[in-house]
């Protein structure tokens, strides 16, 4: 059943985005009430249930439907306890309380559903809109969305080794050594299955054809170079294109035409489903099966297996572990290559994967953390993800910290007065030094790009120093000193916090629904119902107009930095473009790379070189001016004039206060169903806007680069066609002239206008959603006056039960707070662990 769709694409309140007219924009079905004449016969029960199916696009529900049967009853107690294995006892207690609350809430909704389903859908006198909304209200809520933790790092940084240590499976994912891992994304999570499973998703036939065309264009561009081609080193783009074609089609494929390769049979076996599923009883068994697919062998190997040959087609890999005592279900660790991919679909997935991660760990080994362009690029990409995506936390994870040459360290040591007695002491001292230095640098970088009160700046740990090798060997560091347990603790606390927020929302919204359902059997104050709701509607209209003006003023803060950014971009684009196009070695090894950049409209992602993005580079001065203000608009912290969410919160509180005031003035009891329902639903509706805003802000943020890329597309395409002598310089000239022409015609000004237009679209989207949702809420709340209360079953017992559950939310929160305090106290009293014996 399509249950999730019933909750709307925004995943907010059951009313969010649903209008009375929106739910039934369909043609009248033959035999439906819309086509019935006055003398039509009464419908049978079967026909009415069929109308229900047509009504909401779901299968018809019978009275004994098992949609809401409590899943916990079907589990053995041992299975139920196993899902909390990853948590210490105190955290387990909190999770079990939340699970119990959620389970009981779903059971109450199930009982309510069973009582109301017949009286709602088998009574022709009840308006269709109310039928739709009531079923929408009682449909099963979607499960908790996973927490995506992205590990972003270059090849060899230690991402796979770190994941192996966190999941307690040595050598499970292949690590970089003599062989190089592919650039595909690998997602690792634990589930409720008993087996180890991997799903390898391949590019579709059309996606591969697109890449094949670009690869052959890249390679055949040197055919007309003649002797000049022999003077150039083969560059990275050309080497990778050659390797990919040879892997798929065999030796000599790099010299064949695109049309010829389309007809050629690949050397590896490619399933028609484009998904390869691997299963195993043991981790080692799955690792052996998975290894050929996600590890690319050395290029000088004479033979390759059929599995290894299809690695250029791999889009991403999903690995599911059985129930884990270390990683809780609901967490996905994502191994993200640091630079993206030459294939458009894989590169787009690279961006989207980064943006959907709520946590990003930038992985850098101890020898590269103090410098290097790749490391800085990854940090900048993570900060941009905070601006445009769901990311709320960034940390630098320094790997391979066990690597230390003691005599050299002692000679260069400039900190501390205490003499170093051992390798362990030197490693721990260096780790603390790195944390202090890199935390300060990272914090300053974040402050330049994000608001000063961003939550990421308040994080307890911005830098972790880990050693996966010492985690397994413990030759001189304890398990705790490797900081792998600290990362696991972070994962557990993140999931526990998300579970708490989800259950709180679930119970609160369910209580609002039961308040409403119970209200339909009440006759309280029916006489002045219409007057009250008319007054509320008028008040909502006035406040919505004020909200629209407040949003307009909020978005106006972007105008000045955009104008300054345009000026900065106009004065610096020649210098920036020159730095991108000029190489210290001249054109050696750069011709085909530049061609690849043009084929992909200004962007080239390689597995071994730093990412090249000409569009982002020449718009960077605009973003430098924009970033602090943009982050301020979408901040969720303190209320300021430029922040959007505080305006929405103020709007919410004004409506809730007005409803409470009307309730008291007009005789609603303090705990009246009407006041409770309206106040809670206002919270749910406006709370759901946050997800909508986050999804829209990515498009807004990227509008500058996408606008510039769109304007420069003709010159990129022209440059990509250049072949023959002096091709590299001719391509550069075409790009330079194209940029000059577009700048003269107002390229940066157009980018500014497009971003401002995106902000206006967001403003209209917010106000329209608010109007539609609140109008629907008030309409449903006023249905009591339409005689509906006479026809519905009594749900007072369910209402009382839900009231108890809603009240117990505070008790659960207080218990969790007490447990945290006790845990902190016990941790503070426990002696620190010594290192392993020498």
DSSP-derived secondary structure for 609-674: S--EEHHHHHHHHHHHHHHHHHHHHT--SS--TT-SHHHHHHHHHHHHHHHHHHHHHTT--TT-HH
Query: What secondary structure letter does DSSP report for 20?
Result: T
In angstroms, rounded to a whole number, what is the distance separating the alpha carbons of residues 59 and 47? 13
Confidence of residue 749 (pLDDT cuts 50, 70, 90): very high
Q: Is the dihedral of CA 131, 137, 143, 147 positive or negative?
A: positive
Contact 544, 771 (CB under 8 A): yes
Kindly report the pTM of this predicted structure: 0.78
In angstroms, rounded to a whole number, what is the distance separating the alpha carbons of residues 510 and 688? 15
Q: What is the mean pLDDT of residues 408-427?
A: 81
DSSP-derived secondary structure for 448-511: HHS-TT-GGGG-S-SEEE--HHHHHH-SSS-TGGGTHHHHHHHHHHHHHHHHHHHHHHHHHHHH
Q: Is the dihedral of CA 825, 826, 832, 835 positive or negative?
A: negative
Indicate if the pLDDT at residue 224 is higher than 70: no
Return the structure tokens found at 254.
Answer: 């790099």
Share of the chain above pLDDT 90, in %: 30
Rg (CA), the chain: 30
pLDDT of residue 606: 73
Confidence of residue 518 (pLDDT cuts 50, 70, 90): low
Return the structure tokens found at 318.
Answer: 């999903």
Query: What secondary structure letter does DSSP report for 238?
Result: H
pLDDT of residue 70: 36
Strands (E), 302-450: 314-321, 331-337, 359-365, 393-399
Contact 780, 516 (CB under 8 A): yes
Q: What is the mean pLDDT of residues 309-320?
A: 88
Angle between helices 529-556 and 747-781 (to 10 degrees): 170
Contact 456, 359 (CB under 8 A): no
DSSP-derived secondary structure for 134-186: HHHHHSPPPPPPPEEEEEEE-TTSSHHHHHHHHTT-TTSS---SSSEE-SSEE
Return the structure tokens found at 600.
Answer: 């992909």
Indicate if the pLDDT at residue 483 is higher than 80: yes
Torsion of CA 198, 199, 201, 202, to 10 degrees: 70
Of 479, 460, 476, 457, which Cα lies nearest the Cα of 468? 479
pLDDT of residue 695: 85
Indicate if the pLDDT at residue 233 is higher than 60: no
Return the structure tokens found at 440.
Answer: 């300060």
Indicate if the pLDDT at residue 268 is higher than 70: yes
With tokens 């009853």, the residue in question is 73
Confidence of residue 523 (pLDDT cuts 50, 70, 90): low
- Each as own residue / partner, the long-range contacts of residues 653-657 (CB below 8 Å, 24 or more positions apart, any chain) are 654/543, 655/539, 655/540, 655/543, 655/682, 655/774, 656/682, 656/683
Q: What is the mean pLDDT of residues 170-199?
A: 77
Q: What is the mean pLDDT of residues 413-442?
A: 86
pLDDT of residue 548: 92
In angstroms, rounded to a whole number, what is the distance separating the alpha carbons of residues 182 and 201? 13
Other Cβ atoms closer than 10 A to 272 = 6
DSSP-derived secondary structure for 530-578: HHHHHHHHHHHHHHHHHHHHHHHHHHHTTHHHHHHHHHHHHHHHHHHHH
DSSP helix/strand/coil, 337: strand
The mean-pLDDT minimum among 338-342, 576-580, 655-659, 720-724 falls in: 338-342
Q: Which residues contact 255 (CB under 8 A, 6 or more apart)?
A: 219
pLDDT tens-digit profile of 141-164? 556 678 999 999 887 888 989 999
Indicate if the pLDDT at residue 792 is higher than 80: no
What is the SS3 string spanning 55-75? Answer: HHCCCCCCCCCCCCCCHHHHC
Backbone phi and psi for residue 64, each to the nearest 5 degrees, phi listed first: -95, 25
Query: What secondary structure letter does DSSP report for 24?
Result: G
DSSP-derived secondary structure for 457-475: GG-S-SEEE--HHHHHH-S
Indicate if the pLDDT at residue 277 is higher than 80: yes
The mean-pLDDT minimum among 549-553, 752-756, 821-825 falls in: 821-825
120 versus 708: the higher-pLDDT residue is 708
> What b-and-e string marks burial along 442-451, b requiring 16 or more CB atoms within 10 Å of the CB?
beebbeebbb
Backbone phi and psi for residue 603, each to the nearest 5 degrees, phi listed first: -125, 130
Locate all alpha helices (DSSP H) within 666-795, ordered by sequence. Answer: 673-687, 689-701, 703-720, 727-744, 747-781
pLDDT of residue 35: 39
DSSP helix/strand/coil, 83: coil
Q: What is the mean pLDDT of the chain?
A: 76
With tokens 């059943």, the residue in question is 1
In angstroms, rounded to a whole number, what is the distance separating the alpha carbons of residues 231 and 727? 13
In angstroms, rounded to a whole number, what is the distance separating the alpha carbons of residues 204 and 275? 10
Backbone phi and psi for residue 831, each to the nearest 5 degrees, phi listed first: -70, 150
With tokens 């299963």, the residue in question is 279
Indicate if the pLDDT at residue 398 is higher than 80: yes
In angstroms, rounded to a whole number, what is the distance separating the alpha carbons of residues 673 and 519? 6
> What b-and-e string marks burial along 573-607, b requiring 16 or more CB atoms within 10 Å of the CB?
beebbeebbeeeeebebbbbbbbbbbbbbbbbbbb
For 17, left (φ over 0), alpha (ψ -120 to 50), or beta?
Answer: left
């Amino acid at each position: 059943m399509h249950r999730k769709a019933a909750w709307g694409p925004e995943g907010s309140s059951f009313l969010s985005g649903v209008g009375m007219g929106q739910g039934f924009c369909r043609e009248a079905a033959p035999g439906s009430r819309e086509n019935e004449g006055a003398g039509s016969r009464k419908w049978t029960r079967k026909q009415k249930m069929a109308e229900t199916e047509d009504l909401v696009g779901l299968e018809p529900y019978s009275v004994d439907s098992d949609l809401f049967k409590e899943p916990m009853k079907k589990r053995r107690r041992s299975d139920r306890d196993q899902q909390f294995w990853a948590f210490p006892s105190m955290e387990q207690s909190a999770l079990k309380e939340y699970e119990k609350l959620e389970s009981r809430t779903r059971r109450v909704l199930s009982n309510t559903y069973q009582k109301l389903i017949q009286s709602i859908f088998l009574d022709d006198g009840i308006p269709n809109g109310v039928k739709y909304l009531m079923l929408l209200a009682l449909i099963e809520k979607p499960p908790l969305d996973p927490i995506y933790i992205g590990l972003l790092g270059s090849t060899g940084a230690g991402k796979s080794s770190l994941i192996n240590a966190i999941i307690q499976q040595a050598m499970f994912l292949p690590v970089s050594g003599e062989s190089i891992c592919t650039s595909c994304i690998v997602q690792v999570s634990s589930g409720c299955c008993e087996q180890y499973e991997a799903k390898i998703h391949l590019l579709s036939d059309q996606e591969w054809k697109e890449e094949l065309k670009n690869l052959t264009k890249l390679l055949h561009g040197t055919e007309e170079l003649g002797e000049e081609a022999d003077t150039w080193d083969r560059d990275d783009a050309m080497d990778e294109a050659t390797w990919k074609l040879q892997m798929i089609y065999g030796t000599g494929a790099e010299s064949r035409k695109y049309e010829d390769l389309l007809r050629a049979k690949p050397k590896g076996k490619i399933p028609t489903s484009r998904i390869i599923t691997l299963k195993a009883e043991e981790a080692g068994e799955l690792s052996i099966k998975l290894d050929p697919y996600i590890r690319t062998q050395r290029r000088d190997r004479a033979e390759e297996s059929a599995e290894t040959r299809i690695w250029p087609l791999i889009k991403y890999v999903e690995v599911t572990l059985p129930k884990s005592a270390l990683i809780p279900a609901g967490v996905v660790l994502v191994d993200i290559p640091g630079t993206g991919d030459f294939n458009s679909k894989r590169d787009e997935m690279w961006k989207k994967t980064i943006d959907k991660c709520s946590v990003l760990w930038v992985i850098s080994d101890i020898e590269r953390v103090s410098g290097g362009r790749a490391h800085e690029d990854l940090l900048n990409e993570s900060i941009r993800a905070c601006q445009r995506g769901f990311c709320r936390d960034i940390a630098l994870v320094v790997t391979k910290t066990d690597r230390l040459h003691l005599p050299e360290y002692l000679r260069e040591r400039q900190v501390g007065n205490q003499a170093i007695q051992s390798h362990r002491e030197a490693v721990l001292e260096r780790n603390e030094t790195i944390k202090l230095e890199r935390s300060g640098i990272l914090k300053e970088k974040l402050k330049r790009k994000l608001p000063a009160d961003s939550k990421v700046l308040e994080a307890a740990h911005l830098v972790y120093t880990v050693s996966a090798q010492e985690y397994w060997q413990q030759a001189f560091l304890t398990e705790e000193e490797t900081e792998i347990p600290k990362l696991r603790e972070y994962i557990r606390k993140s999931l526990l916090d998300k579970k708490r927020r989800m259950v709180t929302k679930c119970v609160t919204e369910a209580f609002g629904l039961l308040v409403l359902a119970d209200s339909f059997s009440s006759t309280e104050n029916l006489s002045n119902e219409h007057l009250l709701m008319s007054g509320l509607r008028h008040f909502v209209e006035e406040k919505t107009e004020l909200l629209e003006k407040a949003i307009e003023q909020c978005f106006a803060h972007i105008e000045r930095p955009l104008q300054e950014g345009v000026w900065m971009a106009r004065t610096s684009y020649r210098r920036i473009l020159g730095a991108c196009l000029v190489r210290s070695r001249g054109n050696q090894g750069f011709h085909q790379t530049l061609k690849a950049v043009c084929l992909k409209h200004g962007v080239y992602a390689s597995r071994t070189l730093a990412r090249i993005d000409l569009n982002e580079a020449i718009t960077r001065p605009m973003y430098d001016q924009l970033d602090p203000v943009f982050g301020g608009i979408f901040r969720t912290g303190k209320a300021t004039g430029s922040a959007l969410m505080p305006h929405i919160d103020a709007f919410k509180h004004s409506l809730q206060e007005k409803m409470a005031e009307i309730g008291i003035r007009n005789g609603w009891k303090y705990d009246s169903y009407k006041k409770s329902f309206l106040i809670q639903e206002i919270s749910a509706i406006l709370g759901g806007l946050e997800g909508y805003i986050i999804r829209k802000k990515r498009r807004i943020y990227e509008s500058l680069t996408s606008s510039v890329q769109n304007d420069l597309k003709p010159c990129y395409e022209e440059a990509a066609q250049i072949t023959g002598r002096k091709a590299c310089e001719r391509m550069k000239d075409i790009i330079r002239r194209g940029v000059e022409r577009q700048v003269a015609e107002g390229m940066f000004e157009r980018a500014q206008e497009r971003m401002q237009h995106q902000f206006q679209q967001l403003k209209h989207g917010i106000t329209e959603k608010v109007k539609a949702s609140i109008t629907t809420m008030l309409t449903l709340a006023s249905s009591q006056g339409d005689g509906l209360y006479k026809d519905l079953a009594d749900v007072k017992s369910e209402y009382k039960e839900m009231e108890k559950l809603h009240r117990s939310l505070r008790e659960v929160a207080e218990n969790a707070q007490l447990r945290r305090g006790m845990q902190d106290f016990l941790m503070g009293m426990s002696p620190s662990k010594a290192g392993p014996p020498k």
